[in-house]
Amino acid sequence: MRVLLDTHAFLWWIGDDPRLSGRAREVFSDGDNDLVFSAASGWEIAIKARLGRLHVLGDLNTYLFRQLTENYTSVLPVHLSHALRVYALPDHHLTPSTACW
């Protein structure tokens, strides 16, 4: 099974955080599964680290690539077609104050 790890799931997995569910741990540790990490999550992690909301040991680039390698996780790039799919998503984050251009 191909499993796309969201940012928090990845961070909880590599940090052995108790917030990660037992089922997620089973899925992530199953060697038959293909773990995938989105480049968008890398972007989010870089922002969090830059703002001081996430602390990593040493250089972020080195740390993240080492974690991806050690956890047998491949990187899924973000293409323009992926970004444009946001247009078709349900309006979960739409607020009454959303401006119309």
2-79 is classed CATH 3.40.630.30: no
pLDDT band (50, 70, 90) for residue 16: very high
Encoded amino acid at 86, one letter: V
Averaged over 43-57, what is the pLDDT? Answer: 93
For the chain, give the mean pLDDT.
Answer: 90
Model pLDDT, residue 95: 60
**By C-alpha distance, which of 10, 97, 86, 100 is closest to 54?**
10
Q: How confident is the model at residue 82 (pLDDT cuts 50, 70, 90)?
A: confident
List the domain boundaries for the chain.
2-79
